[in-house]
Amino acid sequence: MENENKILIMLIGKTHSGKTTLANEIKSKIKDILIIETDPIATFMKKQFPVLRKNDDQEHSGASNNISLKFRIFTMFVEFALSFGNPIVLSNSNLWVKGRMIISDLCKKFKYKLIGVYFDLPEELLIERSQRANRPTNVLRISKDFKDLIINQRSRVQPPNSSEFEEFFTIKSEEDVRGVK
């Protein structure tokens, strides 16, 4: 079955919702899966392109219809990974509907099954998690800390619709994660 590995799992949600944790759990169960996220791209851009700040980041956040450099680089990585036929998990926020559609089109081009997992957790829980975590803030380009990022994401969230995916799951509590595995 050549196409059985051709799945792309798109994790969608605000920061500290559990996307990376779920991606790592999936990686422990699926051989040769690739995890792609934007944090390393953001860190690279912050260091190499310090003049690109707020405007560039807001370009792919739903605040604008344009595509940011960070998203272009991310899309290039995704397209390259799709060409190998390995299963893939996208473990970044994926909150921008136009970005999801771009990835969906790439999945169709490479004959991948697109699975969506939306982390729709209460903001209070995310803020609490962000305050307990020791995650480095060097990935942040606009927000001063992760609580600020969560608050900023309020206006940028474009919730997914199940029709965007071949399979779709919503996580509204920590218990729901078990149903996705």
CB atoms within 10 A of CB 70: 22
**100 contacts 9 by C-beta, under 8 angstroms:** no
pTM: 0.80
Per residue in 10-21, pLDDT (tens digit) is 999 887 788 888
Structure confidence at residue 26 as a pLDDT band (50, 70, 90): very high
Whether pLDDT at 29 is above 90? yes
Maximum Cα interatomic distance, the chain, rounded to a whole number of Å: 48
Q: Which two tokens stand for residue 114?
A: 């697109």
Per residue in 130-170, pLDDT (tens digit) is 667 666 555 555 655 655 666 666 667 788 999 999 999 99
Sort strands 7-13 and 34-36 into parallel, antiparallel or unpaired: unpaired
Give the pLDDT score at 154.
Answer: 64
